[in-house]
Amino acid sequence: MAQIYLSENFIVESFETPHVTRTDWWHIRIRIIDESITDRTKISPVIAIEFMRLTMIIGEAMEIAMNNQWVNVVKINYQDMGNWAFKWGKKPFFHMHIYGRAKDAKFQIFPESVYLPDRSSGFYDKFEPLNKEDILEIQKQIGIIEKQEKYQTSKWCFKK
């Protein structure tokens, strides 16, 4: 995993073995730092507000960044899951996968849903992760977007 961004309660990271190859879509995860929290029903209202704000910032940043990186972005998809933890005898933790959709995808064809077979199937073996330039561009866009008026924390009712 490569860390893209860190907030008070969440880590944004890319995958070395993504669910989708970088030119078809791309794939990052926002995960809660406290892995004892299993799903969104277990978070406080303050953390829920932080999470919603963060998913919006990251989604916007990814769309701009990947278009800047010559990936023809059509849509951003947000999914929180956690089922695979049970395969490995682990407890799931709260996280969300963000998938960008590319119009000219070759493996995960637009507009089909994300196809997520078992990791052992070999389906993901040739998928390319985000590269260093992609990550730097996403980080740059996060820095720009989080300064926009609509993302100022004063607008988001952050109260502890």
User: Cα–Cα distance between 38 and 132 in angstroms, integer?
Assistant: 31
Note the pLDDT of residue 47.
Answer: 95
Q: What is the pLDDT of residues 62-100, one digit of tens each?
A: 999 988 988 788 888 899 887 888 888 989 999 999 988
Note the pLDDT of residue 115.
Answer: 84
Note the pLDDT of residue 111.
Answer: 85
Note the pLDDT of residue 21.
Answer: 77
Full residue range of the structural domain in which residue 99 is found: 2-155
User: Cα–Cα distance between 29 and 52 in angstroms, integer?
Assistant: 14
Note whether residue 160 is domain-resident: no
Asked if residue 100 lies in contact with residue 26, where contact means CB atoms within 8 angstroms, the answer is yes
Rg (CA), the chain: 16
Number of structural domains (the chain) is 1
Note the pLDDT of residue 50.
Answer: 96
The single-letter DSSP state of residue 155 is G
- Smallest Cα–Cα separation from 25: which of 120, 111, 91? 111
Note the pLDDT of residue 67.
Answer: 87
- Smallest Cα–Cα separation from 107: which of 123, 118, 119, 131? 123
Note whether residue 24 is domain-resident: yes
Q: What's 13's domain CATH number?
A: 3.30.428.10
**Regions of the chain where pLDDT drops below 70:** 24-25, 159-160
Note whether residue 35 is domain-resident: yes
